[in-house]
Amino acid sequence: MQSEIKIADQIISKTAPTFIIAEIGINHNGSVELAKKLIDIAQTAGCNAVKFQKRTVEKVYSPEELAMPRESVFGMTNGDLKRGLEFSYEQYKEIDLYCKSKGILWFASCWDEESVDFIDQFNPPCYKIASASLTDDKLLKYTRSKGVPILLSTGMSTIEQIEHAVSILGKKDLLIFHCTSTYPTEHSEINLNVIGEFERKFDCLVGYSGHERGLIPTVVSVVKGAVAVERHITTDRTLWGSDQAASLEPGGLYRLVRDIRTLPQIYGDGKKIVYEREKPIIKKLRKV
């Protein structure tokens, strides 16, 4: 197993603090100002990075899909919505500079080769392969050609499909994320024991990308061995958008990061001792 993966100046490993990613995705709803608010929330909470999604709309969706009726603030078709959710180069440049000023990393999951080239202009520290793209061999090869670490999400994928993707990507600088692509994910669909199975089968570092309600499964994923976690974030779960309901609001994100950061202290060193604060209790309660 590769013992560590370096993401810019940060280390992901079994001994390093958990790498926490706040997935902004498309929850910015086409607004750079809202994206900045989400970056602020992630940075204040203590996340290591924020992640966006990038698509070349005409490459990812067919003309028929884009022409489908779908009412939104951007217009009356699915294409109006999809185009409205994509940032321009100038907007991403503003985001890039803002993240640098806040001292937080950012990267994206790119859904097509043209999007990989687009994001590559900003020298991302890594790329994420979305679960929907796991079976896109051409995209996997092209993303790997950029020479930076790859985070591979595995929702809606069989073990055979994941094996095939890993054979294309190789294991060097590869972090595999256990994920279930339901929004929100029911507890019966989370299956955190897959984390250990991935470690054994692929002999690599494993993370967890969660879409569930609440915080407990994500915290437990770290206990089960996840070295990195990812959760969608939002300012308000009632905002319009397909990912909002499965996202964490600011208070939830703060508590999640707090609880994950507390785990090493809770684990301790494994040596059973009598603590100083227990000694007065001994005098009070024991007869001998």
What single letter denotes the amino acid at residue 92? Y
> Looking at residues 168-183, what average pLDDT do you find?
97
pLDDT digits (tens, 9 = 90+) for 56-89: 999 999 999 999 999 998 999 999 999 999 999 9
pLDDT digits (tens, 9 = 90+) for 83-92: 999 999 999 9
pLDDT above 90 (res 234): yes
For residue 275, give Cα distances in angstroms to 65, 77, 278, 279, 280.
64, 65, 5, 7, 10
> Looking at residues 160-187, what average pLDDT do you find?
97
pLDDT digits (tens, 9 = 90+) for 110-136: 999 999 999 999 999 999 999 999 999
Average pLDDT, the chain: 96
pLDDT digits (tens, 9 = 90+) for 190-222: 999 999 999 999 999 999 999 999 999 999 999
What's the pLDDT band for 242 if we cut at 50, 70, 90?
confident
> Looking at residues 11-15, what average pLDDT do you find?
97
What's the pLDDT band for 159 if we cut at 50, 70, 90?
very high
Contact call for residues 25 and 110 (beta carbons, < 8 A)? no
Q: Which two tokens stand for residue 274?
A: 């009598």
For residue 241, which of 25, 37, 33 has the smallest C-alpha distance?
25
What's the pLDDT band for 40 if we cut at 50, 70, 90?
very high
Percent of the chain with pLDDT over 90: 94
pLDDT at 237: 87
pLDDT at 287: 87
CA–CA gap between residue 123 and residue 107 (Å, rounded): 9
pLDDT above 90 (res 94): yes
pLDDT at 241: 79
CA–CA gap between residue 106 and residue 54 (Å, rounded): 12
